[in-house]
Amino acid sequence: MLTNKEPESAESWLNSSSSAQPYVFALLVGTGLLLELVIHFYLQITIVYTQFFYLIVVIAGLWYGKKAIWVAILFGGLQVIVAIIITGVFPFESLIRAAMLFIVALVVGTLAEYRIACHCEVVDRNSELHASQQAFETANKKLNLLSSITRHDIFNQLTVLLGYLELARDRVSDPEVIQYIDKSETAANTIQRQIAFTKDYQDIGVQAPQWQNLTRCIETITSLTPLNTIRVTIELGTLEVYGDPMLEKVFGNLIDNSLRHGEHVSEIRFSYQQSKDTGLDIVYEDNGAGVSDADKERIFQKGFGKNTGFGLFLSREILGITGLSIKENGIPGNGARFEISVPEGKFRFG
């Protein structure tokens, strides 16, 4: 039966805890002893190539750590003893070979034990990280649920409050009291907008970023927005950006900003330009009143503006999830111009 499982690498085979390890190792040691006794002792060939013994020592080091030193002593000492028996003199060359086997066993065994210790530490940390991640996800779900329930209850109470305020307005004629009711309604509506903002802000970063076609994204937004006679030009081609799923809300906020504050906007244009510093800039332009120099950075602060003051602040937060940034650099009186900087690796052309 065919499967898609990839074959194990040589390293994973050597370091596996297979039950066959002792038998394989015993076979290697037996082969080494046979070569030593037959070639060196029986045939009396004094020069023995030790590459095979290095193989045994290395495998022993990988499997059993520093215990491989005993294997190196076995084969190194055996070479020296057999050489003395054959030649009758102390063999310095065999002693050097034995020393090399010992050094190899020590180095490989030490590295193998260090690798195993590091591997165990990584496994332990991954387990702790996984447990922490699960705890975080559980806590996050509970907090989101609590936030959702609380937000729903507050909305319901605000609806009741606004209803009673409307009834109170119909039953009073005192201008001063009506003025108080108007201020109360304004405060209640502001609270509603702020609560709605918490819903949007809560959703940022909840879902994994994804590649999004900007032309399709903007077309979706403009189809749902009452633009009246405003002409929208999209010159983005097949450009795709890796961003939070709420990315289309960024463009919706920019269009809403033009509609609310542009005063005489009749054209909106989306385009892009290559940038040496950031990689690529997405450019949003309108022909409205523009943004004053004093407000170019303040418009991104939470609470700034005539309405909720959350739109552009929220846009910057959404873009920041995947390392994108936004700034306004238009000429006051000649229209707004927003640049969204997209770093390399976060954009592509489909």
**170-189 tens-digit pLDDT:** 888 888 888 888 888 888 88
**Tens digits of per-residue pLDDT, 253-312?**
899 889 888 888 999 999 999 877 768 999 999 999 999 998 899 888 877 766 555 778
CA distance 312 to 284: 13
CA distance 249 to 154: 24
Task: Give the pLDDT mean for 316-328.
Answer: 91
Q: 308 is written with which tokens?
A: 């909720």
In whole numbers, what is the pLDDT of the chain averaged over residues?
Answer: 81
DSSP structure string for 274-339: EETTTEEEEEEEESSS---GGGTTGGGSTT-SSS-S-HHHHHHHHHHTTT-EEEE-PPTTS--EEE
Name residues whose C-beta falls within 8 Å of residue 184's C-beta, 6 or more positions apart in sequence.
Answer: 161, 165
CA distance 297 to 316: 11
DSSP 8-class letter at 162: H
CA distance 331 to 350: 33
The radius of gyration of the chain's CA atoms, rounded to the nearest angstrom, is 37
DSSP 8-class letter at 5: P
DSSP 8-class letter at 66: G
The domain defined by 210-349 folds into Heat Shock Protein 90 (3.30.565)
Q: Contact at 8 Å (CB) between 316 and 296?
A: no
More confident residue, 225 or 36: 225
**Tens digits of per-residue pLDDT, 205-241?**
667 889 999 999 999 989 888 888 899 999 999 999 9
Predicted local distance difference test score (pLDDT) of residue 62: 83
Greatest CA separation for the chain: 128
CA distance 274 to 126: 40
DSSP 8-class letter at 89: S
Helices (H), 41-91: 51-64, 68-87
